[in-house]
Amino acid sequence: MSRSLRVANGGSIRRTRLLSFSFNGTLYSGFEGDTLASALLANNVRTVHRSFKYHRPRGVVGSGAEEPNSIVQVGSGSKATPNLRATQIELYDGLTARSVSGWPSLRVDLYALNGLLGRLLPAGFYYKTFMRPRFLWSWYEHFIRKAAGLGQAPREADLDHYDKLNIHCDVLIVGGGPTGLMAARAAGRAGARVIMADEQAEMGGSLLSSTASIGGKKPGDWVETVVSELTRMPEVILLPRSTVTGYYDHNFLVINERRTDHLERPDPRLRRERIWRVRASQVVLATGAIERPLVFSNNDKPGVMLASAVSTYLVRYGVLPGRKIVFFTNNDSAYQTVLQLVDAGMEVVAVVDVRSDPQGDLIQQVRSAGVPIFEGHVVVDVRGGTSGLRMVLIARVNKTLDEILSHKGELRCDVLAVSGGWNPVVHLHAQSGGKPVFNEECASFLPGPSVQNERSAGAGNGTFGLADCLREGAEAGRRAAQDAGLTGDGSVDIPKVESHVEGSLHPIWVVPNGLAEGRGGKKFVDLQNDTTVADIRLAAREGYRSVEHLKRYTALGFGTDQGKLGNINGMAILADVLGQAPGKIGTTTFRPNYTPVTFGAIAGREIGSTFFDPTRKTAVHQWHVENGAEFEDVGQWKRPWYYPLPGETMNEAVRRECLATRESLGILDASTLGKIEIRGPDSAEFLNRIYTNSWLTLEIGRCRYGLMLGEDGMVMDDGVTSRIGEDHYLMTTTTGGAAHVLAWMERWLQTEWPHLRVYLTSVTDHWFVTSVAGPNSREILTKLCTDIDFSADAFPFMSVRAGTVAGIPARVYRISFSGELAYEINVSANYGRSLWQAIMTAGQSLNITPYGTEAMHVLRAEKGYIIVGQDTDGSVTPGDLGMDWIVSNGKDCIGKRSLSRQDTRRENRKQLVGLTTVDPTLVLPEGAQLLNEPAKEFPAPMVGHVTSSYFSPSLRHSIALALVKGGRSREGSMVYAQLIDGRVIPATIGQPKFFDPENQRQKV
């Protein structure tokens, strides 16, 4: 086994707690406080991944969210989680992880043959081939798909739960590094309600891998002091392991908090993740910066790492990623890491600096420590394999860094630490609507002018010195609190830190290797997608010159790291190729999420049979369940569909329910119909505008059927509205349309007719409604209710009376959707079950039979009554339904204008008709398309379709409603339903009325 790379002491890991974990089936050990990446490095595991296209071995490059390589699958079964970054996985005992690529193994990957064919696979090669023969594409694609993709989705449902919180705050601080801590301190002292979120397990940011003293304290101790002050502030919330992933309009931000993934055996009551939906008055972006790699031949080999990552692994995790380290830099910051290594007594082979005369305090210190510095040199290539680097090849470079002057041989090493400068994390600023601007000094993009109430500070704002960060953070926090309206004193002392003079950075986007571009080892820009300098040049050559085209053509920045490491280099290289300034090229769009967010967390609790959408049940639901009802989903409601007796089929049950209702007495739970209270002196006028018919003359105690249209003149909803009092109406709507109708009417009231004194309230759930239908309905009502006169004259059809039914205060309507004599009883929902029970008991002798929606549909279809949404589809006018009579000539209403349009006046429109099949036992399928004659060739001209179709138990033959072109004038003619299964069913057109066409029964 390889030797351990753990240094003897140091780091903030807890060495007393040894943890064991497995990677690709091998057991390793690490310490509490390790990440999977640091533990793998400590165990000298160099290759953790195979690259996307060429399957080249890849090792850990970074130490956080920027990591493109170490993508692993963690856990198994219902806990399997794909595509986590080893650099962000906190180690726990028993963790199992495996790499997501490499076949048959990570070490021996046969797909690496792709590497040999690499020249055939430039950017966008797939657009140029796999085209012929055409039928083979699906075969090619099968293999492309198999080769692509990272981890595997779990095969089992997730057992974890996720929560959401909504919160307001004065100041949201993103990032808990030195800048963020100072901002929080200042804002907190000013009295602001502060939330500070940091993606790492603890606050501190860059200080966690720093050795420089701050305010006379060790960095860790200083962080501790600030955190403990913040913890004591009651209005400050500190959120570790929490990434601000999205910045939306109106200072709405989303935080993804991870609560259990780092735990060995999480308390099952703990929710795995939480989404904080934050509305912040002010935002401070203290997001820091990400080090930029350098682009040279074979810069992807395991052992090439960011200098900052080397520093983090050493200082924070006590891991020295190599025994012999070479640095390659174009700026001063890497020298800080060199000094940390020197201080820890480690060997630094050399520093290769592209600058010919680097000046700066740190450089002097490194020089005096005896570390050789190759000035004006570059690393042109590296040698190494799956187990790490063997050497780097260096060369002298000219002043403009684009030409090799002389090759200088090799430096033996096992790690190359690189630094190409720093990219401020401007993602959230950009998401907020800001436009990052290119800054020559740091050769990267800085936040532009703020668009929302946010300010950037610290390294995220291009301020890199620690002293400046602390000052800027304090200032940002103080001013944010002030802008949020806080008047408290937000002043804080700026702790003293050692500062040093830094030399300037010399940008180098591509390191020359003495060969023509594209020759020699590949120079990788985006490690995860295997995008090389040659790919970028090819894209530019082929005309994909917009930075967005570049991204899409070469997949630059398309990976799960979203280009945090490679994008700036890639854009600068494109600019260089095009001879433009990087600032002119611009960036691709920064969009949510900053780092990926678990679907489950975004979905939250609103999934599953209970919470995906509320289930609405009527007051008598339990009775229906107890009596064996089958249910139908209508909108959010569960409606009894039919009530099969033991052994009964659906058809038999529906037949029995229909016949009982027609012959004696049926009872329906009609509670789900939408009910809207309409009150106010202009209610009648309002109804007049909403409905097609006239409402000015409706007397108190009477009801009327109404049809409402969309602006296009098409039927939108229908229902019965009654006048309860002088300025008081109750509208009923379809079950599924209730919410829409209410919103629709509110829209008209609020935006178009604000002067109308009308007030709308949904009362759907307040009432329990049952319809008692059949020739014996009057008899049972008379039995149950003594304070209403049910005689035909005293209580005529289409009227409403108040009274007491079975001792319960009720409104009784005499209306009918079945064509039978029928009453609808409305009582307060709380009394629903008592009323239902009382009716059932009283009706026993009359064979009272509960019927469901299916029987209701049959009964109404026998009468030719439409169901909006089933017999209409948004393209049907009242005239098409044969209901011209309901459109009043004497007034206007919504949609009326549209009815006089040329096409809506057309004779040959699809009209509602009745159909009877030639074979009376055959029931036409609903949705059957109709033809004038069976089709022999396709496309065939269709003349309509079947909207409703049933077997009528009362008539003993099948019936159907259909919309047929010019149907009303075609009575008696034949149409053919030709079905996708090949059947052809002939039918005859008739009136859309099958039963009691004179409507005698409901008026008795």
Partner 1 sequence: MKNKYSIFSLARNAVTYHENWREAWRSPEPRKGYDVIVIGGGGHGLATAYYLASEHGIRNVAVLEKNWIGGGNTGRNTTIVRSNYLWDESAHLYEKSLRLWEGLSQKLNYNVMFSQRGVMNLGHTLQDMRDIERRSNANYLNGIDSEVLRPEQIRQIVPIMNTSPHARYPVLGASFQRRGGVARHDAVAWGFARAADREGVDILQNCEVTGILRHNGAVTGVETNRGRIQAKKVGVVVAGHSSVIASMAGLRLPIESHPLQALVSEPLKPILHTVVMSNAVHGYISQSDKGELVIGAGVDSYTGYGQRGSFSVVEGNIGAIVELFPVFSRVRMLRQWGGIVDVCPDACPIIGKTPIRGLYFNCGWGTGGFKATPGSGWVFAHTIARGEPHSLNAAFTLERFSTGALIDEHGAAGVAH
Q: Which of residues 439-478 bind partner 1 (CB under 8 A)?
A: none
Q: Is 430 helix (H, G, I), strand (E, B) or coil?
A: helix
Give the side-chain half-sphere CA count within 13 A for 412.
2
Determine, following the binding rule CB under 8 A, whether residue 634 of this chain makes contact with partner 1.
yes
The rounded distance, in Å, linking the Cα atoms of 364 and 9 is 27
Q: Which two tokens stand for residue 798?
A: 């289409």
State the nearest-atom distance from the C-beta of 643 to partner 1, in Å: 17
Is the CB of 496 or the CB of 519 nearer to partner 1? 519
Among 107, 217, 541, 766, binds partner 1 (CB under 8 A): 541
- Interface with partner 1 in residues 551-570 (CB under 8 A): 552-553, 555, 558, 560, 562
State the nearest-atom distance from the C-beta of 942 to partner 1, in Å: 6
State the nearest-atom distance from the C-beta of 309 to partner 1, in Å: 22
Residue 841 CA from chain centroid, whole number: 52
Phi, psi angle pair for 492, to nearest 5° = -135, 150
Counting other chains too, the contacts that 152-159 makes at CB distance below 8 Å and 24 or more residues apart are 152/73, 152/80, 152/82, 152/100, 153/82, 154/77, 154/78, 154/79, 154/80, 154/81, 154/82, 155/80, 156/77, 156/78, 156/80, 157/78, 158/78, 158/600, 159/78, 159/79
Binding string, 252-271, against partner 1, x = CB under 8 A?
Answer: x-x-----------------
Distances (CA, A) of 52 to 529, 727, 884: 6, 71, 66
Determine, following the binding rule CB under 8 A, whether residue 651 of this chain makes contact with partner 1.
no
Among 211, 627, 888, 898, binds partner 1 (CB under 8 A): 898
The rounded distance, in Å, linking the Cα atoms of 856 and 774 is 12
State the nearest-atom distance from the C-beta of 272 to partner 1, in Å: 9
Cβ 834 vs Cβ 806: under 8 Å: yes
Q: Which DSSP string corresponds to 878-933?
A: TGGGT-GGGS-TTS--TTHHHHTSTTTT-TTSEEEEEEEESSTTPPPPTT-EEESS
Is the CB of 130 or the CB of 705 nearer to partner 1? 130
Binding string, 187-226, against partner 1, x = CB under 8 A?
Answer: ----------------------------------------
Strand 703-709 relative to strand 715-725, pairing: antiparallel
Is the CB of 528 or the CB of 764 nearer to partner 1? 528
Is the CB of 129 or the CB of 398 nearer to partner 1? 129
The rounded distance, in Å, linking the Cα atoms of 602 and 254 is 10
Q: Which two tokens stand for residue 847?
A: 């064979």
Among 538, 749, 894, 975, binds partner 1 (CB under 8 A): 538
Amino acid at 6: R
Q: Which two tokens stand for residue 123?
A: 């950017």
Binding string, 901-940, against partner 1, x = CB under 8 A?
Answer: xxxx--------------------xxxxx-x---x--xxx
- Interface with partner 1 in residues 356-395 (CB under 8 A): none
Q: Which segment (30-38, 127-135, 292-300, 622-630) binds partner 1 by CB under 8 A?
A: 127-135
Binding string, 597-626, against partner 1, x = CB under 8 A?
Answer: xxxx-xxx-xxxxx-xx-x-----------
Is the CB of 100 or the CB of 307 nearer to partner 1? 100
The rounded distance, in Å, linking the Cα atoms of 930 and 970 is 13
Cβ 996 vs Cβ 819: under 8 Å: yes
Cβ 398 vs Cβ 307: under 8 Å: no
State the nearest-atom distance from the C-beta of 629 to partner 1, in Å: 15
Q: Which two tokens stand for residue 793?
A: 């004259």
State the nearest-atom distance from the C-beta of 151 to partner 1, in Å: 6
Residue 939, preceding peptide bond in cis (omega within 30° of 0): yes
Among 544, 691, 768, 851, binds partner 1 (CB under 8 A): 544
Cα 725–Cα 731–Cα 735 angle in degrees, nearest 5: 155
| Number of chain positions touching partner 1 (CB under 8 A) | 113
Among 248, 705, 759, 797, binds partner 1 (CB under 8 A): 248
Q: Which DSSP string corresponds to 516-561?
A: -TT-SS-BEEETTTTEEHHHHHHHHHTT--SHHHHHHHH-TT-STT
- Interface with partner 1 in residues 759-778 (CB under 8 A): none
The rounded distance, in Å, linking the Cα atoms of 304 and 859 is 78
Residue ranges in 627-737 assigned as alpha helix (H): 650-663, 683-690
State the nearest-atom distance from the C-beta of 624 to partner 1, in Å: 17
- Interface with partner 1 in residues 795-854 (CB under 8 A): none
Among 359, 580, 841, 875, binds partner 1 (CB under 8 A): 875
State the nearest-atom distance from the C-beta of 93 to partner 1, in Å: 21
Residues β-bridged to residue 828:
767
Cβ 239 vs Cβ 276: under 8 Å: yes
Is the CB of 144 or the CB of 918 nearer to partner 1? 144
The rounded distance, in Å, linking the Cα atoms of 1 and 416 is 23
- Interface with partner 1 in residues 940-979 (CB under 8 A): 940, 942, 945, 947, 978-979
Is the CB of 130 or the CB of 753 nearer to partner 1? 130
Among 105, 108, 127, 726, binds partner 1 (CB under 8 A): 127
Strand 524-526 relative to strand 531-532, pairing: antiparallel
Binding string, 702-731, against partner 1, x = CB under 8 A?
Answer: ---------xxxx-----------------
Amino acid at 894: I
Phi, psi angle pair for 328, to nearest 5° = -135, 120
Determine, following the binding rule CB under 8 A, whether residue 740 of this chain makes contact with partner 1.
no
State the nearest-atom distance from the C-beta of 203 to partner 1, in Å: 24
Cα dihedral across residues 824, 829, 833, 835: positive or negative: negative
Is the CB of 162 or the CB of 767 nearer to partner 1? 162
- Interface with partner 1 in residues 142-181 (CB under 8 A): 144-146, 148-158, 160
State the nearest-atom distance from the C-beta of 961 to partner 1, in Å: 12
Is the CB of 589 or the CB of 841 nearer to partner 1? 589
Determine, following the binding rule CB under 8 A, whether residue 534 of this chain makes contact with partner 1.
yes
Is the CB of 129 or the CB of 845 nearer to partner 1? 129
State the nearest-atom distance from the C-beta of 1004 to partner 1, in Å: 33
Q: Which two tokens stand for residue 254?
A: 């989303």
Determine, following the binding rule CB under 8 A, whether residue 342 of this chain makes contact with partner 1.
no
Q: Which segment (15-23, 495-503, 595-603, 822-830) binds partner 1 by CB under 8 A?
A: 595-603
Is the CB of 838 or the CB of 883 nearer to partner 1? 883
The rounded distance, in Å, linking the Cα atoms of 965 and 943 is 5
Among 119, 265, 584, 755, binds partner 1 (CB under 8 A): 119
Number of neighbours of residue 937 by Cβ within 10 angstroms: 5
Q: Which two tokens stand for residue 585?
A: 């090229």
Is the CB of 1 or the CB of 120 nearer to partner 1? 120
Cβ 167 vs Cβ 278: under 8 Å: yes
Determine, following the binding rule CB under 8 A, whether residue 249 of this chain makes contact with partner 1.
yes
Is the CB of 268 or the CB of 543 nearer to partner 1? 543
State the nearest-atom distance from the C-beta of 911 to partner 1, in Å: 16
State the nearest-atom distance from the C-beta of 632 to partner 1, in Å: 6
Q: Is 147 helix (H, G, I), strand (E, B) or coil?
A: helix
Among 4, 24, 29, 82, binds partner 1 (CB under 8 A): 82
Determine, following the binding rule CB under 8 A, whether residue 80 of this chain makes contact with partner 1.
yes
State the nearest-atom distance from the C-beta of 607 to partner 1, in Å: 5
* Tokens 């409305």, residue located: 826
